[in-house]
Each structure stands twice: as C-alpha cells, then as structure tokens.
Amino acid sequence: MRAIVERTQRASNSWSGNPTVRVTTDQGTYLTETDSHSGLVALGLEPGDVVELTITEGRIEYIDEIRNEEEETHGPITDRY
C-alpha cells in the first residue's frame, strides 16, 4: 500500500542514524522497527515522502520510496553524455 512518511526521528546525521519512521495508512499508524533484525532500512526517508510499504502481522515488512522512473539516473547531468 502507499502511504506518506509522516515523521522521522533519527539520532544522528550520520548513516548510523537509521531513523524511526512513522507512516499513517488507512489501516493505522505504523513505526519502522529499525533497531531490530528486521533488515528494514529507513535511511534517507523524509517526511512527505510517498512510500510503498507492506504490512505483515502488524509490522512494516517493506518500505521504500515510490520511484520516479523518469528521474532515475536520467537527470540533466547524465543526459549530457
């Protein structure tokens, strides 16, 4: 399902600060569990990001930004090649 990242909380500006991300869907509000062994990586997600996520047994199992295929690696700089 799709959702919008409502809020992130990270302890550090470094990569190690994998944030906790809160998203609200029509099924409720969920937090990523980034301090577990889930392998979930929320790094780089920001409030307002539109994400695709899957919920399994009440937990976010997968989350990633909705990709814009047009923008992926085909921005103006790469187009200049």
Task: Provide the binding-site residues for another protein, judged by CB under 8 A.
Answer: 9-18, 20, 34-39, 41-46, 63-65, 67-68, 71-78, 80-81
Give least dist CB 62 to another protein, A: 8
Separation of alpha carbons 13 and 62, rounded Å: 23
Instruction: DSSP for 10-35, please give it.
Output: -S-SSTT-PPEEEEEETTEEEE--TT
- Min dist CB 59 to another protein, Å, is 15
Q: How far is the CB of 23 from another protein (least distance, A)?
A: 15
